[in-house]
Amino acid sequence: MNDLSRRRLLQSAAAFGAASALPFSAARAADSLAAAIYPGTWDEAYRSVVAPLLAQKHGVDVAFDPLWAVDQVTKARAGRGIAPFDCFVLDPGPTAAAREADLFEPIDASMLSNAANLPDGMISADAATVNVQVVGLCYNPTAFPEPPTRWEQIFESPYVERLGLTGFQTTFGTVSLIEMAKVFGGSDTDMEPIFAKLQEALPKVAAVTGPAGLPGLFQQGQIDLMYTNTNNVATLKAQGVDIEFIAPETGAITFSTSLHITKGSENVEAAHKYIDTAISAEAQSQLQLSPYNMIPVNKQVELAETLYIKSVDELSDMVVHDWSVINPQRAGWIERFNKEITK
């Protein structure tokens, strides 16, 4: 089945599935679209919150295609002009790569009724920021009453024997490994120190896995320490997992996540409605609650007490990265990690 046929099948399935659960007036969907979404928490959150609001308010049905960011860009490139989905969800690195490859349609801010409720700069010519993420260490407080507070400590006993490693496929993995490289004398252009440290730790670590595998290993008690974003921590905690988040002494890491319309999309109007729904106060108010805990960007939303920050002003003190420096090297880091560490 080619990408175009698959996309139409996804859209048809979405329209049928969503319509069957809606009142007759709402079931007469005016349109539909396919949207890439991160697997796991994002997939669950957008299916539970954004999709119902989109159908209710605009009569638009959405079929989600769970893909990590790098895979979204790869799939869109392979489409050769046929959009495999109508919307991306991307972090800064993949956004820069997709923009360079000319994979985005323009966004018309006048079609977004909620655009004025976002801080300046969060709506651009081809991007709409939907939330911000915070990355650091998470640990089992029963296993570690005194958790590690520095990146270098996770490679020391008793922590390293309970550590779960993952590579550069995700933004949280990439930025965490960069910060680890820095504390061992490296930089965002010199990853030799962290690769040397990973090789040294490899016989001791509890697990090496893909990003989607870490939460399951933590939940099963096979690891008690990992690096990830607060969304994943909140999801596990809501499931009853004994887990806490801690910012390393060098600071928590932050980055934004944005929606984009795919070049060649045949559903541009529906895509704008999808984006407008995702940034609405109603959606963002729900997305910030447990188990999703997504940090909102809509200025009309009062931050929930369960978030790991009390004010968006705290983000200005966190660590950020220059993806124009990272992107040219990232594919090589992914390949090297898979070859030398994952094996």
Q: Which helix (H) or strand (E) holds 57?
A: helix 51-58
Question: What whole-number distance in Å separates Cα of residue 312 and Cα of residue 212?
Answer: 28
pLDDT tens digits, residue range 53-97? 999 999 999 999 999 888 999 999 998 889 999 999 999 989 999
All structural domains of the chain, each given as residue ranges with its CATH number in brackets, are 32-132+255-314 (3.40.190.10), 134-253+323-341 (3.40.190.10)
Q: Which two tokens stand for residue 229?
A: 């974003």
Exposed / middle / buried, residue 156 (Cβ in 10 Å: 0-12, 13-18, 19+): middle
Taking residues 98-104, report their average pLDDT. Answer: 94
**8 A C-beta contact, residue 88 and residue 260:** yes
pTM score: 0.79
Taking residues 113-135, report their average pLDDT. Answer: 94
**8 A C-beta contact, residue 35 and residue 64:** yes
Indicate the range of 107-116, 125-134, 308-317 predicted with least confidence: 308-317
Among residues 254, 231, 262, which one has the least CA distance to residue 89?
262
Under the banding of pLDDT at 50, 70 and 90, the label for residue 18 is very low
